[in-house]
């Protein structure tokens, strides 16, 4: 990376300032949901569970068995038209309620994704700013070391030449 590619533009500085001033987004609290949202969430949680599927399957098996064996008066003889009506009624009401819960969850997920994006942009701009500061410090250090080397070279040139010590025997 070159020095110029790390510099922040004016727009990036303004965006970073705005991101620093933003309040952190808070996750949705359960008590902030409306009654309809709470109902939709509980229905989606219930209908989308194995417990519900197992209980419903057991009830359907009992319904069919009772009607086939006619222990109790066969209120819904084969082809189980009443059972089909009950299941259609359940599906007609459960599906939109589950979709309401999913839409609300999708909106929450979108908000979280937008917040994550803003955090990532802020982190990227902060890192670029740190790169700029480190490069400036490195340039200052190199300039300082260059001056020290030049002073040492000058003092070596000005020092009288002394013969090297004799080798040891």
Q: How many CB atoms lie within 10 A of CB 101?
A: 21
* pTM exceeds 0.85, yes or no: no
Q: Which two tokens stand for residue 42?
A: 């509980």
For the stretch 91-128, pLDDT in tens is 999 999 999 999 999 999 999 999 999 999 989 999 99
Report the chain's mean pLDDT, rounded to a whole number: 86
User: Cβ contacts of residue 64 below 8 Å, gap of 6+?
Assistant: 80, 83
Lowest mean pLDDT among 21-30, 36-45, 143-152: 21-30
Query: What spatial distance separates the first Cα and last Cα of the chain, rounded to whole Å?
Result: 56
Q: Which residues touch 94 (CB under 8 Å, ≥6 apart)?
A: 43, 47
User: Six-digit token pair at 64?
Assistant: 């069919």
Confidence check: pLDDT of 152 > 80: yes
pLDDT value of position 2: 47
DSSP 162: -
| Strands, E assignment, the chain | none
Question: pLDDT (tens digit, 9 = 90+) per residue, 55-101?
Answer: 999 999 999 998 888 866 788 888 899 999 999 999 999 999 999 99
| Alpha helices (runs of H) in 48-80, residue ranges in sequence order | 50-69
User: Which pLDDT does position 78 carry in this prediction?
Assistant: 85
């Amino acid at each position: 990376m070159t020095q110029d590619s790390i510099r922040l533009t004016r727009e990036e500085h303004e965006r970073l300032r705005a991101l620093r001033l933003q309040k952190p987004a808070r996750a949705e609290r359960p008590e902030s949901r409306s009654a309809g949202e709470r109902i939709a969430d509980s229905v989606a949680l219930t209908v989308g569970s194995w417990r519900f599927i197992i209980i419903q399957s057991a009830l359907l098996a009992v319904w069919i068995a009772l009607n086939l064996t006619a222990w109790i008066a066969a209120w819904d003889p084969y082809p189980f038209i009443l059972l089909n009506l009950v299941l259609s009624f359940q599906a007609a009401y459960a599906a939109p309620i589950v979709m309401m819960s999913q839409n609300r969850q999708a909106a929450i997920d979108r908000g979280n994704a937008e917040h994550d994006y803003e955090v990532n942009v802020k982190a990227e701009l902060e890192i670029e700013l740190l790169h700029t500061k480190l490069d400036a410090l490195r340039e200052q250090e190199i300039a300082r070391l260059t001056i020290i080397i030049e002073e040492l070279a000058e003092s070596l040139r000005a020092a009288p030449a002394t013969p090297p010590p004799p080798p040891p025997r």
